[in-house]
Structure 1
């Protein structure tokens, strides 16, 4: 029984949040979740979309930082929709944290490193 299964009150919730890959990760899955996905997703979402939005004309307005942060967080959630709507919703809070980190630092590789840490946490909670 995984840690998440023991914490959630309904048995199907663990199945919805932890897919088969997180429950029994092999070397390939770990490589993809800990290295490849964080690098690619953060390069596209943060260095691509969020950076592009930061440079748009609304940057002169009050709270201009909010649009790039919220849009990139939504895109990050949509990117995970292939794993189910529950997974897409579950990554919104980490996606928001990553968007705020990028907004503050402007360094997508910091986001990739933290993203890898989030994925390592998910593997440890779901798989063991």
Structure 2
């Protein structure tokens, strides 16, 4: 079994996350607040409606992590790419996807969290990447709510 496939098949181990991932999860609320404090008005700062909330908190984290982590990132690793480079390329594709979806320059801000999701996938599996993605989106929504 290749490392990428093994990563996707790895069972969850509770909250045994590594220090960089814990740090990213703890810093996510501050990063979301900073983005909303510094971002130009209109740059992904509107609170979505009910279906939009479900999309951001459940559907997008599940589907996007399947496509970009279990799909693209794992495929690159299977083809012999270094895991770190696979994470960077999958994250660039993730940001490009958000740019193509019409999010403008705000789409570029998803590149850094995407690196976290890629790390979570590589070290802890797909479910962890999905949970991290949902957490970052929740922090984003909380920052919108308080701004």
Identify if the C-alpha distance between structure 1 residues 38 and 15 changes in structure 2 by more than 3 Å, giving closer, same or farther. Answer: same
How many residues in Structure 1 have an aligned counterpart in Structure 2? Answer: 113
When normalised by structure 2's length, the TM-score is: 0.69
Where does 1:1-128 land on structure 2 (aligned, <5 Å)? 7-8=37-38, 13-18=40-45, 23-58=46-81, 64-81=82-99, 82-105=101-124, 107-128=125-146
* CA shift digits 1:28-67 (9 cap, x unpaired): 1111110001000000110001111111134xxxxx2222
- Following the alignment from structure 1 to structure 2, what is the Cα–Cα distance between the partners of residues 6 and 72? 25
Q: Answer whether contact 1:25 1:127 (CA < 8 A) is retained.
A: no
SS at match of 1:25: coil
Q: Answer whether contact 1:42 1:111 (CA < 8 A) is retained.
A: yes
5+ residue gaps in structure 1? 59-63
Identify if the C-alpha distance between structure 1 residues 35 and 49 changes in structure 2 by more than 3 Å, giving closer, same or farther. Answer: same
- Following the alignment from structure 1 to structure 2, what is the Cα–Cα distance between the partners of residues 69 and 5? 23
Larger radius of gyration: 1
When normalised by structure 1's length, the TM-score is: 0.78
Q: Answer whether contact 1:45 1:72 (CA < 8 A) is retained.
A: yes
What RMSD, in angstroms, separates the aligned Cα atoms of the two structures? Answer: 2.0
Q: Answer whether contact 1:17 1:86 (CA < 8 A) is retained.
A: no
5+ residue gaps in structure 2? 1-32
- Following the alignment from structure 2 to structure 1, what is the Cα–Cα distance between the partners of residues 59 and 119? 22
